[in-house]
Amino acid sequence: MVTTPDVFYIDGVRTPFGRAGEKGMYWRTRADDLAVKTIAELLARNPEIPGDRYDDVAIAATTQTGDQGLTLGRTSALLAGLPQSVPGLAIDRMCAGALTAMTLMGASIGFGQYDVALAGGVEHMGRHPMGFDADPNPRFLAEKLVAEDALNMGVTAERLHDRFPQLTKERADEFALQSQQRAAAAYEAGSFARDLVPVAIESDQGWGLATRDEHLRPDTSMAGLSGLRTPFRPHGRVTAGNASPLTDGAATTLLASAAAVKEFKLKPRMRMVGFGFAGVQPEVMGLGPIPSTEQALKRAGLRIEDIGLFELNEAFAVQVLSFLDHFQIAQDSPVVNAYGGAIALGHPLAASGARLSMQLANQFEEHPEVRYGLTAMCVGLGQGGTIIWENPNWNGKKTRPVASTPKNGGLA
Question: At residue 57, what is the residue type?
Answer: V
Q: In whole angstroms, what is the distance from residue 79 CA to residue 29 CA?
A: 15
Q: In whole angstroms, what is the distance from residue 200 CA to residue 189 CA?
A: 24
Q: Is 235 a residue of the active site?
A: no
In this structure, the number of other CB atoms found within 10 A of the CB of residue 397 comes to 10
Contact in structure between 167 and 318 (CB atoms under 8 Å): yes
Q: In whole angstroms, what is the distance from residue 117 CA to residue 255 CA?
A: 5
Q: In whole angstroms, what is the distance from residue 341 CA to residue 289 CA?
A: 16
Q: Is 347 a residue of the active site?
A: yes
Q: Is 378 a residue of the active site?
A: yes
Beta strands in 66-164 (DSSP E): 89-91, 116-124
Q: Of 95, 124, 326, 367, which is the active-site residue?
A: 95
Termini Cα distance of the chain: 30
Q: In whole angstroms, what is the distance from residue 407 CA to residue 324 CA?
A: 11
Q: In whole angstroms, what is the distance from residue 39 CA to residue 405 CA?
A: 42
User: Which of 96, 95, 90 has its CA nearest to residue 275?
Assistant: 96
Q: Of 128, 161, 326, 347, which is the active-site residue?
A: 347
Contact in structure between 319 and 378 (CB atoms under 8 Å): yes
Annotated catalytic sites, by residue?
Answer: 95, 347, 378
